[in-house]
Amino acid sequence: MKFLRLLLILFVAPLFAQQGGMWVPSLLKGMNEAEMKNLGMKITAEDIYSVNKSSLKDAVPHFDGGCTAEVISPKGLILTNHHCGYDNIQSHSTVEHDYLTNGFWAYKMEEELPNKDLFVTFIVRIEDVTSKVTEGVASLATEAEKQKKIQENIATLNKTLPKESWQENQIKTFFDGNQYLLFVTETFRDVRLVGAPPSSIGKFGSDTDNWVWPRHTGDFSLFRIYADKNNRPAEYSKDNVPYTPKHFFPISLKGIQENDFTMVMGYPGRTQEYLPSFAVEQIVNELNPAKIEVRDAALKVQDGFMRKDNAIKIQYASKYASVANYWKKWIGETKGLKKSDALSIKQKFEKDLQTKIEKAGKQAEYGNILNEFKTNYANIREYALARDYFTEVVQRNTEILSFGFRLYQLEQVYNSKGEQAFNDRKNNAITTFEGLYKDFNANVDEKVFEQLINIYATKSPKQFLPSTLQNINATQLASDIFKNSKLTSYNGLKELLNGDAKSVIEKLNQDKGYALVKSISDVYIKNVFPRFEEMNLKNIALQRTYMKAILELSPKSARIFPDANSTLRITYGKVKGYKPADAVTYTPITYLDGVIEKYIPGDYEFDLPKKLVDLYNTKDYGRYADKNGKMPVAFIATNHTTGGNSGSPALDANGNLIGLNFDRVWEGTMSDIYYSPEICRNIMVDARYILFIVDKFAGAKNLVEEMKLILPSKK
């Protein structure tokens, strides 16, 4: 047994070690290209990113600034997730045309639906501009001055660096301020909705299955990019024409198996892989548990109401999903960090680094970083905790408090900028509030308030508690506020905001709800926020030096990748199952059979369209079934992804599309802080399931015809 383990460590570990990381596509030559080929890739780094010829990167735009999409036809057809296109699908939906419930398909281009404000951004080229950005910075004395100078340099360079008139320059920092890269981009603003399956397919499993493997969601939607007659970006016009891409992905129907090479290109938003152990310890033991407790309480209350009352379910479904998404992620993350012993791994890494610093004679520059981190994280602890409680309780999860906080900011605007600014902002606020109150139910929020204010009063650091929250009876306070405050209805709010600035502010301050929010916010804004910012700035500066030390003192072969920052990255690995718990093994592919197993007629998470059940019963899968006649639905692999990678193309060894990324497995959500190839997996919809839905379920042959399909060779 011992021998076997040793063998495993010796042979499996180095192989696994080639996985993980989100790499910059223009910097793959060398180590990454060698690893990718070793894992089975058949194409070259130049095929993925090239400035001279078309390459894969030309088919991968950032979708609406938050998700990823990929071009899958010569006519600018793009694929992304259902949850990424959700708002647009929703905005076209009415009671008569409920596209969220029933799906939407354009059978002709004229039927495609324009979307105000939706945009996609392509990358034209990437260049290193570090020396330009850091010019004149080193000689400055304070961190604040340095940051200011860097921001000035970036602003100037964005304006002056060469680009075409229809392009943009965007400079982003990598490795916490140790490298700056310029992205020259093209943004298209005429993007039309082409197709979306019913939510019972596109959101199948909803919150229960969110972050979960085995998964059975057909999380995709289709859009099309339109350009002007010169194929350049243009605002919406009926005269625009379908965009001709420099590259589009052929779609492979050949199928996948465990251990196949895969890679994912996309725009991961934010990771923190190089946090020191002190920070990770705080996240695991204090910050995540605090945030989870608050959301747990809020979600339980809302769920109770939603299950009993259909109108409330409709009002709260989308809010609930968004709060539940990160609640569930943090629980998985915390468990995963503990189980993988990320803390000890970080501590050992730090000890080794300290030794290297001493060996290299770099004590003067780096010798004290870890000590400073330790002190600084100890000092920031209470402030960070207070900040999270404030954010979660006041700004995010108790609606009446979040409304009050918006008004509090309005009063601040009056104090700092005067009547005119106040009125502008007030008018905007009234419009925003109309939308917020539409989905507000005072009975639900009173119960949320009662739970959350109690957590705030008993769990958040005592020294930042206003007198209004000392020794409270939460039930009494809740009923008092909800009986007396005008913030409990839109009409009440409008009454409060009616009049000139002076009288509005007077009325606000007499309102019990507002007065409570103000007392909490005053303490936060005066005693927590500035100190937090000050120490956070120190941590940012330390992190930059720490990262510099890591880059400088690690061996050439070390796999050091920059944290995600919403720029284009590539990650690669293998299709692979995992072991989530003792005696449990998950295989890497799910099938339509599993969708049917989960089917609960009439349920709001697990219902299915009749047509899909019929297609299953008759096994009418056409050319999309696998070689055993089964319909694949989703699969997992060791690609290192995060929020923002939703909608990313999953590609095979030849750069053909085999799937669409949309999630990660729950046990591996810690990958934002510590990636472990043993348990971190990304989840993708199989391209064959997407085509089956488009073709067989929706009958949108027009769309399949414009794609390039790669069929399995007949034996």
Catalytic residue positions, numbered:
83, 219, 646
Q: Which does 644 bind (CB under 5 to 8 A by kind): ligand ASP, ligand ARG, none?
A: ligand ASP
Report the Cα 365 to chain-centroid distance in Å.
Answer: 36
Quick check: 221 binds ligand ASP (CB under 6 A)?
A: no
- Shortest reach from residue 66's CB to ligand ARG, in Å: 10
| SS3 assignment for 527-587 | HHHHHHHHHHHHHHHHHHHHHHHHHHHCCCCCCCCCCCCCCCEEEEEEECCEEEECCEEEC
Q: Is the CB of 644 or the CB of 677 nearer to ligand ASP?
A: 644
Alpha-carbon distance 408 to 439, whole Å?
21
Task: Report d(CA 149, CA 127) in Å as an integer.
Answer: 21
- Interface residue with ligand ASP, options 643, 649, 655, 668 (CB under 6 A): 643
Q: Which does 221 bind (CB under 5 to 8 A by kind): ligand ARG, ligand ASP, none?
A: none
Provide the H-helix boundaries in 309-396: 310-339, 342-359, 363-366, 369-389
With residue 495 as reference, give the H or E element that holds it: helix 490-497
> Counting contacts by CB under 6 A, is residue 55 touching ligand ASP?
no
Residue 565 interacting with ligand ASP (CB under 6 A): no
206 binds, among ligand ASP, ligand ARG, none (CB under 5 to 8 A by kind): ligand ARG
x/- binding map, residues 587-626, to ligand ASP, per CB under 6 A? ----------------------------------------
Using CB under 6 A as the binding rule, whether residue 656 contacts ligand ASP is answered as no
**Residue 230, SS3 per DSSP:** coil
Among ligand ARG, ligand ASP, none, what does residue 447 contact (CB within 5–8 Å per kind)?
Answer: none
**Quick check: 217 binds ligand ASP (CB under 6 A)?**
no
Residue 188, Cβ density class (10 Å: 0-12 exposed, 13-18 middle, ≥19 buried): buried
Among 176, 663, 667, 695, binds ligand ASP (CB under 6 A): 663
Residue 267 or 514: the one with the smaller Cβ distance to ligand ARG is 267
Q: Choose the contact partner of 207 out of ligand ASP, ligand ARG, none; CB within 5 to 8 A by kind.
A: ligand ARG
Residue 210 interaction partner, one of ligand ARG, ligand ASP, none, beta carbon < 5-8 Å per kind: ligand ARG
Closer residue to ligand ARG in complex, CB, 299/528: 299
Pairwise CA distance, residues 577 & 215, whole Å: 13
Residue written as tokens 């939407």? 104
User: For residue 600, what are the contacts with CB-CB under 8 A and spacing of at least 6?
Assistant: 606, 607
Of ligand ARG, ligand ASP, none, which one does residue 648 interact with (CB within 5 to 8 Å by kind)?
none
Q: How far is the CB of 275 from ligand ARG (least distance, A)?
A: 21
CB of 645 to ligand ASP, least distance (A): 5
**How far is Cα 332 from Cα 288, in angstroms, rounded to an integer?**
10
Q: Of these, 179, 641, 656, 676, which contacts ligand ASP (CB under 6 A)?
A: 641
Verify binding: residue 664, ligand ASP, rule CB under 6 A. Answer: yes
Q: Token digits for 649? A: 């193309």
Where are any strands of DSSP class E within 396-531?
Answer: none
Q: Least separation, in Å, of the C-beta of 320 and ligand ARG?
A: 9
Report the nearest approach of ligand ASP to the CB of residue 644 (Å): 5
- Among ligand ARG, ligand ASP, none, what does residue 195 contact (CB within 5–8 Å per kind)? none
Of 355, 671, 372, residue with least CA distance to 545: 372
Closest by Cα among 640, 556, 566, 532 to 173:
566
- Per-residue DSSP letters for 252-295? E-S---TT-EEEEEE------TT--HHHHHHIIIIIHHHHHHHH
- Tell me: does residue 644 bind ligand ASP (CB under 6 A): yes
**Stretch of residues binding ligand ASP (CB under 6 A), selected from 101-109, 342-350, 372-380, 639-647:** 639-647
Q: Which does 641 bind (CB under 5 to 8 A by kind): ligand ASP, ligand ARG, none?
A: ligand ASP
**Which tokens sit at 637?**
């692999």
Q: How far is the CB of 139 from ligand ARG (least distance, A)?
A: 43
Which residues pair with residue 185 across a beta bridge? Answer: 123, 168
Strand partners, 184: 125, 169
Q: Does 85 bind ligand ASP (CB under 6 A)?
A: no
For ligand ARG, give the closer residue by CB, 120 or 685. Answer: 685
Q: Select from 460, 587, 456 the least CA-distant residue to 516.
A: 456
DSSP-derived letter for residue 70 is E
Least CB distance to ligand ASP at residue 435 (A): 23
Closer CB to ligand ASP, residue 513 or residue 643?
643
Residue range at the interface with ligand ASP (CB under 6 A); choices 294-302, 361-369, 589-597, 661-669: 661-669
Q: Provide the minimum distance between the beta carbon of 114 and ligand ARG in the complex, in angstroms, as a whole number.
A: 25
Q: How many residues contact ligand ASP, by CB under 6 A?
A: 9
Nearer to ligand ARG, 404 or 647 (CB): 647
User: For ligand ARG, which is the closer residue by CB, 104 or 327?
Assistant: 327
Where does this chain bind ligand ARG (CB under 6 A)? 83, 206-207, 210-211, 321, 325, 643, 646, 663
Q: What, of ligand ASP, ligand ARG, none, does residue 645 touch, CB below 5 to 8 Å by kind?
A: ligand ASP
Q: Which residues contact 361 (CB under 8 A, 6 or more apart)?
A: none
Q: Return all residues near 611 (Cβ < 8 A) that are at least 6 apart.
A: 697
Using the 8-state DSSP alphabet, how is residue 712 labeled?
A: P
The span of 128-136, 428-436, 657-665, 701-709 binding ligand ASP (CB under 6 A) equals: 657-665
Q: Does 271 bind ligand ASP (CB under 6 A)?
A: no
Quote the CA–CA distance of 226 and 386 in Å, as a whole number: 47
Helix 512-523 / helix 474-484 crossing angle, nearest 10 deg: 120
485 or 642: CB nearest ligand ASP: 642
The distance of closest approach from Cβ of residue 675 to ligand ARG in the complex, given in angstroms and rounded to an integer, is: 17
Window contacting ligand ASP (CB under 6 A); options: 349-357, 442-450, 600-608, 659-667: 659-667
Q: How far is the C-alpha of 686 from the C-alpha of 515, rounded, in Å?
A: 53
**Shortest Å, Cβ 678 to ligand ASP:** 18
In sequence order, the 6+-apart residues with CB closer than 8 A to the CB of 666 are 211, 212, 213, 328, 332, 580
Distance CA(81)–CA(69), nearest Å, equals: 8
Site residues for ligand ASP per CB under 6 A: 641-646, 662-664
